[in-house]
Amino acid sequence: MRKQNNAPAQKTKKQYRKWLLTVIFIIAAANYLGSFYFTRIDLTSDKRFTLAGVTKNVLKQLDERLVCTVYLKGDFPAGFKRLEIQTREILEEFQAYNKNVRFIFVNPSASGNLKKREHFYRRLVNIGLNPTNLQVKTKNGLEQQYIPSSVTKAEKYLLNC
Amino acid sequence: MWTLYKKEILGFLSSITGWVVIGIFLTATGLFLWVLPSGLNIPDGGYANLNGLFSLAPFVFLFLVPAVTMNSLAEEKRSGTLELLLIRPLSGTKIITAKYLAAFTLVVLSLLPTLIYYFSVYRLGYPVGDIDTGGFWGSFIGLLFLGAAFVAMGIFASSLTNNPIVAFLTAVVISAFIYMGFDFISSFFGGAALFVQAFGISAHYASMSRGVIDSRDVIYFLSLILFFLYLSVSFLGRRKWK
């Protein structure tokens, strides 16, 4: 009895293995082909993640690696945290169209050492990123006014690519 | 197949499992989104959106989905009822599909009450109704895909063993690794980091959770589900008869 049962089991084991390769192949092929022909549907009501045709064209033509360093990271009040997240999101959106777009978020105030931090700030000033002190007393309401002007007013530096 | 599906659903809902899962999911998300002073707290955050729900839910699912699926095959194997199921004129594929759909239905059921959150934020918005409805549904679809993928991994883990606890732990490890693990190890790969990240769920879930549905992400999730369900079917068919 046992032998009889084992024989077909062995066979199916082989079959499963063969099929597994087929399944993996199909999955790999589908994902590979899918990476060339894709659509992105932006369901947000204000279409804030839809890139303009011009932007898409520029991204298509980009065939060198483009690294953006964004000096916007750290312990921010909610409004700036949001700015950071949305900056990241829009960069990710660029990246979805062209993998050559890379980005790093840097915390300009990361160093606990005051001298080092000052030095870093000065270096940023030298490349044209002027810091402004940020005095946000956060309780909702006040924030709202602050955010639109915050990109240029931030104490934390923002470098656009 | 649908009989088995119905039986599974009724099994979830007539036992404590289903209700505990739904209850814990709602308690956890409810606490973090509305009560506890965390970064995810909606009233404190001041913006009428539910982004917090969509960044929190994957972590809750990471533990709840394996709890749903751990019994599906492992328990049947242990109590010996799997043989009863296998001698029915029902192929392994159908058994797995039925169990998969049943567990997925429970995940959907646990997500449905979060529509109350949507309604609350809708009413709380200033002016009333100032919420990104399209974005919410996009993210919701993303969360459904994520849940579906976790269920497939859970079913797979359950097909490996006849001990539900082992199945639970295996499922958590597999899901956590595929969700976040590739992100962590990607830094070892330098230039190929993005390629490695693309194997993980979080890279694909990120854009979905903001309400942007990309065909590539959909293909990824479907392949993940297909892959793990196929593995479960083959492990089910491969097992030795006692």
Q: Which backbone phi and psi does A101 adopt, to 5 degrees?
A: -80, 120
Of B169 and A124, the one with more pLDDT: B169
% of chain B with per-residue pLDDT over 70: 98
Average the pLDDT over B154-168 and give the result: 93
Q: Are strands A40-42 and B212-214 parallel, antiparallel or unpaired?
A: antiparallel
pLDDT digit string, tens, across residues A108-156: 766 667 788 778 777 777 766 666 565 555 444 333 322 222 333 333 3
pLDDT digit string, tens, across residues B23-78: 999 999 999 999 988 778 888 877 888 888 999 999 999 999 999 999 888 888 88
Are A69 and A107 in contact by the 8 Å Cβ rule? The answer is no
d(CA B2, CA B111): 22
Report chain B residues touching chain A, CB-CB < 8 A: 39, 45-47, 132-135, 137-138, 194, 206-207, 210-216, 219-220, 223, 226-227, 230-231, 234, 237-238, 240-241
pTM above 0.80, yes or no: yes
Are B148 and B58 in contact by the 8 Å Cβ rule? The answer is no
The answer to which of A87-96, A120-129, B129-138, B186-195 has the lowest mean pLDDT is A120-129
A82 contacts on B by Cβ (under 8 Å): 47
Which of B136, B234, B235 to mutate against chain A (most A CBs within 10 Å)? B234
Of B171 and B132, the one with more pLDDT: B171
Are A98 and A131 in contact by the 8 Å Cβ rule? The answer is no
- Mean model confidence pLDDT for chain B: 89
Q: What is the model's pLDDT at position A139?
A: 46
Structure tokens, B161: 């063993």
Are A74 and A117 in contact by the 8 Å Cβ rule? The answer is no
Structure tokens, A122: 């000065």
